[in-house]
Amino acid sequence: MTQEAWRRRSEWPLTVAALVFLAAYSVQVIANTDLLVVEVLIWGTWAAFVLDYVMNLVLARERGRWFIRNLHELAIVALPALRPLRLLRLVTLLRVMHRVGGNALRGRVLTYVLGAATLLIYAGALGVLDAEENAPGSNLTTFGDAIWWAMTTITTVGYGDHYPVTFLGRCVAAGLMVGGVAVLGVVTASVASWMVQSVAEETQAELDAAEAPVHEELRKLTAQVEQLSELLKDRGPSPHQGRSEEKP
């Protein structure tokens, strides 16, 4: 089996595992509880992520190069403190959403951007709440505050009424800032592309409407010329032309 074949086969299972982890992690963080079933689900999805990492490492053509380029994957599955970063596995869900967004490029981009923005806001809120809700001096202690903070951060508004005070919370904030800039850039580019295309289509329609009478007149003139040519061919050579050709 090749690495590409493994990725194709594991895409849907990893998507399901990421959604299960998201649900279990949400319950654990929002309810601030350590239920056994929640812990089992979290550790079960962690095992799936570890298996995926090991399989990718084993099947990689250049294992050393792949290992160096994917040190973040190793850190995510190896370090408990980076557990919130396992939400990055939801990127597999974004790839699926990107494919089912329709055949039109704009439809795929819109689906991808909206999905990415929603997941970034929700995952960022969960991550920062997990890091901040029990920290001394924290002002992010409820999920509502975390969602509000994530929305103001991803849109680069940043009111400053809520902010992380822990190192891990600030790391989540930095990732959300970078992700927000990227998402907003795609949105801006998509809107600009749509506006340019709309103006171009309207301009072309106006040109076609203005040139339509000219093309119609040219068509009529061409038809008349062709009719005259046919009439001249049917009449044959003129008498004057025939006598001029008989002279020695």
Residues 132 and 218 in one domain: no
Residues 61 and 142 in one domain: no
Residues 67 and 45 in one domain: yes
The CATH number covering residue 188 comes to: 1.10.287.70
**Average pLDDT of the residues in 60-85:** 81
Residues 129 and 74 in one domain: no
Predicted confidence (pLDDT) at residue 246 exceeds the cutoff of 70: no
**Average pLDDT of the residues in 14-19:** 84
- Please check whether residue 241 lies inside any domain of the structure: no
**Average pLDDT of the residues in 87-94:** 64
- Residue ending a domain, choose from 60, 89, 118: 89
Question: Which candidate, 87, 59, 67, 93, places its Cα nearest to that of 176?
Answer: 87
Residues 194 and 108 in one domain: yes
- Residue ending a domain, choose from 89, 109, 142: 89
- Please check whether residue 149 lies inside any domain of the structure: yes
- Residue ending a domain, choose from 41, 63, 89: 89
The confidence band for 232, taking pLDDT boundaries of 50, 70 and 90, is confident
Q: How many structural domains is the chain composed of?
A: 3
The confidence band for 96, taking pLDDT boundaries of 50, 70 and 90, is low
Residues 219 and 195 in one domain: no
Domain that holds residue 213: 205-234
Contact between residue 126 and residue 199 where contact means Cβ atoms under 8 Å apart = no
pLDDT, tens digit, 9 for 90 and up, residues 116-144: 788 888 888 998 998 898 899 999 999 99
The single-letter DSSP state of residue 142 is S
SS3 content of the chain, % helix, strand, coil (to 5): 80, 0, 20
Pick 138 or 105 by higher pLDDT: 138
Pick 115 or 18 by higher pLDDT: 18
HSE-up (13 A, CA, CB side) for residue 211: 6
Pick 233 or 39 by higher pLDDT: 39
- Please check whether residue 109 lies inside any domain of the structure: yes
